[in-house]
Chains A and B, each alone.
Chain A
């Protein structure tokens, strides 16, 4: 199985900050990675697919980058609605596997 190591597990940040969340795969995944957002008590929403592509309706302050085994989600100019949990998921290989999540908290 491909292990997705996500970091950090939590971040305390301020409105307007720029943050980056990383996922390291235990092997190369050729950009077959997505990023998800989960707000408290809510379900999930896809933000990024294939490493760099923004899902429809997702604000342009979200961006994805990376290659090989290392990928990042960057959120620029944090807004109040961005304080949530974020996860990566790889779909290069079965079983699909998820990162452990990153909780963004207000400082």
Chain B
């Protein structure tokens, strides 16, 4: 059974940092591109970042709104994908989901609140 489980959300002040983690199971993690997607009432669903495979030199892509502030990474030995978020803003508030390439399987989400 494919499972994705996020962790690491919480409350952080504007300008702060947070790192989200997602551990995968039930499939060969190293064979799949992985994404982070966020959901908020204000913006709906917003794609955040993608990371490709070792064979693609772990190429990454980012939404313009997070470029330079967020970093996606992966550790295939731990079947995990991460999202390091720096210089956080109120508009980054939302539920963050990790999802496998193709958007077929999603984690349950972890909530980030950026507020003073």
Q: Is the CB of B103 within 8 A of A100?
A: no
Given the interface pairs A43-B97, A43-B109, A95-B64, the reply to whether A55 lies near B45 with Cβ below 8 Å is no
Question: Size band of the B side of the interface?
Answer: 10 to 19
- Taking CB atoms, residues of chain B closer than 8 Å to A98 are 44-47
Q: Is the CB of A43 within 8 A of B103?
A: no
- Taking CB atoms, residues of chain A closer than 8 Å to B99 are 44
Given the interface pairs A94-B61, A95-B64, the reply to whether A87 lies near B107 with Cβ below 8 Å is no
Complex Cα distance A55/B103, Å?
10
Complex Cα distance A87/B46, Å?
12
Q: Is the CB of B47 within 8 A of A46?
A: no
Interface: B104 (CB within 8 A): yes
> Which chain B residues numbered 93 to 111 have a C-beta less than 8 Å away from chain A?
97, 99, 102-109
Task: State which of B44, B61, B102, B109 has its C-beta within 8 Å of the C-beta of A34.
Answer: B102
Considering the complex, give the chain A residue whose CB is closest to the CB of B44. A100
Q: Is the CB of A87 within 8 A of B64?
A: no
Binding site for A on B (CB under 8 A): 35, 44-47, 50, 61, 63-64, 97, 99, 102-109
9 A-B residue contacts at CB 8 Å? A34-B102, A42-B108, A44-B106, A46-B105, A49-B103, A94-B50, A95-B61, A96-B35, A96-B47
Binding site for B on A (CB under 8 A): 34, 36, 42-46, 49, 55, 87, 89, 91, 94-98, 100-101
Q: Which 5 A-B pairs have the closest CB atoms?
A: A46-B104, A98-B45, A96-B47, A44-B106, A43-B106
